[in-house]
Amino acid sequence: MADEETQLEEGPLPVRRLDQGLFEQITIGFGFPSEWDARYPSQGQTAADAPRRYITLFEDFFLQGNFRLPATEFMAHILHYYGFHISQRSPLGMVRVRHFEFLCRCHEIEPAVDKFRVFYQLIRNIGFYSFGNRGSAKKILLNPPKSFHDWKKKFFFIIREEVIPIAMIFQASYTIEKEELAIPTHADWYLKLTATPNRIFGENVLVAVQMSDKWPETSTEVPILKFEDRGMLFLQFIFLSYFSALNC
């Protein structure tokens, strides 16, 4: 679990690093509607200064973790089960959750918390939560990011109920109990989830696997309907390029 712990810094939360261009890259590039009211922090604000009804999100969630808004149902289930606030999650924790969800969607497995827990266990360091590999389970994420430079300084505020419609608890203290889980080594779904490297996907791919609802306006690709997969939108190039490369 050493790699997770190296992502977190000691001391109080730092103030916002003045880089409004990165904020606009996310809000405009990922199609945030005006009613979400994404706000660039004022000078001197930290990630703990979200206004009432707003939450703090870190930009590396999007740039390194394939996170999109509104949050998926699986993301809501993860937050509800573990009982901490999304603004208390480290970017590496986001990478692991979204990578797991992607693998499940790729293999037509419904992502679920009980399956996620087979591979990962909750860890905490200096107020932020992540997920470490469960030692008795196989690793499914190869080559995770080694660091997230100044990630605590790159954040913004957004209206919670518009993007994550569940109540979340900001945990001041949290006791993580060690748990031992049986590993279903012979289960069909477990065998299908093979180790793949961490990748940053384009919006077309995330839309195809139902992890984004924003089809890029500038896309030259044509969505096709694949009836045997319950009406999900897929792209031919995704099957040929991305999924086959990932052994999906």
pLDDT at 47: 92
Confidence (pLDDT) at 69? 96
Q: What is the pLDDT of residue 222?
A: 59
Q: 129 Cβ partners below 8 Å, 6+ apart?
A: 82, 84, 88, 89, 90, 93, 122, 123, 174
201 close to 242: Cβ distance less than 8 angstroms:
yes
Residues 6+ apart with CB under 8 A from 70: 162, 163, 164, 165, 213
- What six digits make up the tokens of 83? 């009982």
pLDDT at residue 7, as a whole number: 36
Distance CA 92, CA 5 (A): 10
Q: In the chain, which residues have pLDDT < 50?
A: 1-11, 225, 227-245
DSSP 240: I
Report the pLDDT value the prediction gives residue 183, as an integer from 0 to 100.
95
Task: Return the pLDDT at 241.
Answer: 45
What lies within 8 Å, CB to CB, of 236 at 6+ separation is 224
